[in-house]
Structure 1
Amino acid sequence: MSGLTTMLLAAAVIGQAPSADAPASQPSKKDAYLAAKAEAGQGRPARARQRADRPVWAHNLRTHEIRALTGPAGADTAKERSEFFRCWFTLEGGPISAELVARVIAAAEHFEVREVRVISGFRHPKYNLSLRKKGREVAERSQHTEAKAIDFFLPGVDTRALYDWLLDTHDGGVGFYPVSEFVHVDLGRKRTWKGT
């Protein structure tokens, strides 16, 4: 801290005004306040700080549950992640990793949105097989069956822009479904594909 800032802060805490012998080029109260804030690491404008402090919420479209992914109420334990991203068909959970959820949160924060809509997380192998038999676009050895994938979209964000960002920043699999308007992100090897 600069000597002048320290003196002003000490005077405010003690309740004394600076001495009359202080230099005539004292900063204004506003300048002193802004300098103290910047030195304390809080130099961001109040609105940006408030926006960063708001949690990212996830809405599971299959189970109709809503849960904070960040903040004090965030799904930050393995049990909470397993429960929230569970297979909607069997209601069984899988060990969705914190790394995978962090990738989804990073996407929301990058695009400055506070809601993630989840289409699929863990998918039970029996349910995956039934989808394949119905001709759906699911891999035989889907990363979903290993709890290593999430299908999601961000309301108000162009799906192509989300896909492009994930391609640039994610080291695993990224799928693009332009007709259904969602992306797939997984922890498998780096690859990409386009579905419907």
Structure 2
Amino acid sequence: MTDMTFSRRAVLRAFAASTVAAAPVMANATGFLRGAGDIRRIRMYNGRAGESLNMIYWIEGEYVAPALEEINYFMRDWRNDQVHTIDARTIDILAAAHSLMDTSEPYTLLSGYRSPETNAMLRRRSSGVARNSLHIQGQAADIQLQSRSVGQIYQAGRACNAGGVGRYSGSNFVHMDCGPVRSWGS
């Protein structure tokens, strides 16, 4: 499948039609999806835990606390079942990018929160794992979609202009986080 390209007009149309809006405190995201609707929804599947999530987590300007708690549990460190608060800005970025891709297929979550122990173990196995990974702070997720290429997911994440987006084509996933706006990978 070839990479999707996004014109400025297509991105603005997707933003306006989206039911997702980002938190106003997001770095470099002033006006991100402003006026985009009254709800925000996240759809994910965690194959390691055999769990699915299809949830409205924001309604009419307010995050839904029980929904965020369920998302925290869903995105836990699957290696040791440690749960950590997931930054709502990360969820917003994931949801906004998902909306841009116009698919109802849930993301496959490969990694959400990582405990410091898990992150250290992964660092010993791979040079691509950051010592101070935003996963440790609940501010990052590694995801994939069967119906979209890594390049398409990466482009959708970058179009949000609201955090870090990493393309890992060799491993077939995209990293998204709510840190500084930046992108990397091939």
Aligned CA distance change for structure 1 residues 111 and 77 (closer, same or farther; 3 Å): same
More strand per residue? 2
Alignment of 1:31-42 (within 5 A): none
Q: Which amino acid aligns with 2:53?
A: R
| Pairing partner for 1:166 from 157, 165, 170 | 157
Deviation at 1:75, TM superposition (A): 8.8
Counterpart-to-counterpart distance in 1, 2:94 and 2:167: 15
Task: Provide TM-score, normalisation by structure 2.
Answer: 0.68
Answering whether residue 139 of structure 2 is matched by residue 148 of structure 1, we say yes
Answering whether residue 96 of structure 2 is matched by residue 110 of structure 1, we say no
Alignment RMSD (CA, Å):
2.4
Counterpart-to-counterpart distance in 1, 2:166 and 2:124: 21
| Pairing partner for 2:119 from 108, 117, 128 | 128
**Quick check: which has more Rg, 1 or 2?**
1
Identity within the alignment, %? 28
Residue aligning to 2:83: 93
Q: Which amino acid aligns with 1:60?
A: N
Residue aligning to 2:47: 61
Aligned CA distance change for structure 1 residues 155 and 111 (closer, same or farther; 3 Å): same
Aligned CA distance change for structure 1 residues 71 and 58 (closer, same or farther; 3 Å): same
- Partner SS state of residue 119, structure 1: strand
Q: Deviations over 1:76-106 (max 9, x none)?
A: 6332121000001110111112221122122
Q: Deviations over 1:20-50 (max 9, x none)?
A: xxxxxxxxxxxxxxxxxxxxxxxxxxxxxxx
Aligned CA distance change for structure 1 residues 194 and 176 (closer, same or farther; 3 Å): same
More helix per residue? 1
Counterpart-to-counterpart distance in 2, 1:164 and 1:62: 26
* Unmatched segments (≥5 aa) in structure 1: 1-52
Counterpart-to-counterpart distance in 2, 1:124 and 1:185: 18
- Partner SS state of residue 142, structure 2: strand
- Partner SS state of residue 133, structure 1: helix
Q: Deviations over 1:80-137 (max 9, x none)?
A: 1210000011101111122211221222222121211111100001010011112252
The alignment of Structure 1 onto Structure 2 pairs a total of residues equal to 141
